[in-house]
Amino acid sequence: MDASELAGLLARIDERTAKVVIIGQGYVGLPLAMRAAEVGYRVVGYDISVDRVRSLAAGHSYVEDIGDDEVGAALENGYYPTRDPLDLRGFDVVVITVPTPLHEGVPDLTHIEEAGADIARGLQAGALVSLESTTYPGTTEELLRPILERSGLRAGTDFFLGYSPERIDPGNAEWSLATTPKVVSGLDAGSLRAMEAFYGSLVEKVVPVKSPAEAELTKLLENTFRHVNIALVNELAVFAHELDVDIWNAIDAASTKPFGFMRFTPGPGVGGHCLPIDPSYLAWRVERRLGHRFRFVELANDVNRSMPDYVVRRVQSMLNAEGKATKGARLLLLGLAYKAATSDWRESPSTSIIERLENLGAEVRVHDPLVPADETPGIHRVDCSTDEIEAADLVVLIVNHPDLPLDTIAARAHLVLDTRDALRDVEFRGESL
């Protein structure tokens, strides 16, 4: 790589004159685009969704952590939402933040491949390409690099290439994109310098690692760690209930230990993109590349996937104790999202619980103040009103969204199954998970 190419890119980053393209304007890409616009870059936000682009162009956000005022300010600063691949040309920095789902247990990297092909058509010498989408170790070098090099340019020789795992936590008011340390990597020394410079202009601290594969593994390690430990407390919760021991009190007591313990809590299952999917990327890579099974991930998958069934069994047991059958019972489920304070309901355990209960003949009504009703046409949506609470044979608290009327639920519900220990500080008739 010509030293002048790196010096030129670093200067444009330092002066905020670099043209930055963010491919994917979802929960990861939109906050990144807003932050880049905030610090002064010319930002193009690319997304294939017509609705998303129209919404952003009108100054409206569909991501809870990003307000309409932020979008409006970004538009005034030159932020340009688009779905036209021609707008990707002439960039200095491009970041890929597209989804990476699993299909029948196999990683689907189609969106990365398509983004890489779009980038290659407009790639110019001296530009930086960064991948943020969660994937298995080796993707940046083995999959993305050859696609980009169809441009006729060579990574590490003509352009810079790196990987930086996203660490967006929807609904987290304490840790933002800017305040969360950012792991960065580069294909070569020049790429790493470019990655450190770009992300260093966006966040308070960057953490460089030796290679893209190390950075890719870092992301999977973080989520596999959470997945395995959540599975541990989920299985403990099942056994503790059978032993008539309060798992929540035990967790509180264990959390007083100032070393050697980290608090994790049980729940009705795991959701979102990260926990149900990311560890399986690592397990798939280990088995395909090394021929070994990643038994910890397989066991954690089994435990966490079983939790919706366990919740349903607890519902049946509680109704039976009241002399009521599940068939014909009126149930109020609180929460569709996979976690509190977000509208993201990808892979949410709530959907599995609803399906299982309806298959048993229950009349299921669902309240979620954040997930748009038009995204869930087959689900009976209601408000969490006093009438709905009183009319339910059983209220199942799945997600402890802010502003849920916990006092009213505790006082007026006939029976409650609280899967999040949200009602700990009030008296209620029912059980915690």
Q: What is the full DSSP assignment across 176-229?
A: -TTTS-EEEEESSHHHHHHHHHHHHTTSS-EEE-S-HHHHHHHHHHHHHHHHHH
What was the pLDDT predicted at 347?
Answer: 83
For 345-368, what is the mean pLDDT?
95
Q: pLDDT for 127-164, tens place per residue? A: 999 999 988 899 999 999 999 999 999 999 999 999 99
pLDDT at 101: 82
Is pLDDT of 289 > 80? Answer: no
pLDDT at 285 over 80: no
Q: Which domains does the chain have, with CATH numbers?
A: 3-209 (3.40.50.720), 225-432 (3.40.50.720)
Report d(CA 36, CA 248) in Å as an integer. Answer: 41
Residue 161 burial (CB count, 10 A): 27
| pLDDT of residue 258 exceeding 90 | yes
The pLDDT tens digits for 108-119 are 899 999 999 999
Q: What value does the mean pLDDT take over residues 36-60?
A: 96
pLDDT at site 282: 64
Residue 93 has pLDDT above 70, yes or no: yes
Mean pLDDT of 170-196: 94
The two structure tokens encoding residue 37:
């616009």
For residue 298, the model assigns a pLDDT of 84
Q: Which residues are catalytic?
A: 274
Task: With residue 430 as reference, give the H or E element that holds it.
Answer: strand 430-432
Three-state DSSP at 404 gives coil
**Range 373-380, long-range pairs (CB < 8 A, 24+ positions):** 375/345, 376/336, 376/345, 379/336, 379/354
For 195-238, write each residue's pLDDT tens digit. Answer: 999 999 999 999 999 999 999 999 989 988 998 999 999 999 99
268 band by pLDDT with thresholds 50, 70 and 90: very high
Q: What is the average per-residue pLDDT within 62-71? A: 92
Torsion angle, alpha carbons of 289, 293, 297, 303, to 10: 150
The three-class DSSP label of residue 380 is coil
Percent of the chain at pLDDT > 90 equals: 79
Say which residue, 333 or 286, is predicted with more confidence: 333
Amino acid 9: pLDDT: 94
How many Å apart are CA 232 and CA 271, to the nearest integer? 16
Kindly tell me if the per-residue pLDDT of 288 is higher than 80.
no
pLDDT surpasses 90 at 172: no
What does pLDDT average to over the chain? 93
Eight-class DSSP state of 140: I
pLDDT, position 169: 83
Exposed e or buried b per residue across 14-52, where buried means at least 16 C-beta atoms within 10 angstroms of its C-beta:
eeeebbbbbbbbbbbbbbbbbbbbbeebbbbbbbbeeeb
Task: Please say if the pLDDT value at position 273 is more than 90.
Answer: no
Per-residue pLDDT at 372 exceeds 70: yes
What is the Cα–Cα distance from 355 to 360, expressed in whole angstroms? 9
Round to whole Å and give the CA distance between 154 and 147.
Answer: 11
Share of the chain above pLDDT 70, in %: 97
Please state the rounded mean pLDDT for residues 175-180: 94
Angle at 51 between CA 49 and CA 52, to 5 degrees: 65
Query: What mean pLDDT comes out for the span 187-198?
Result: 97
What pLDDT was estimated at residue 404?
94
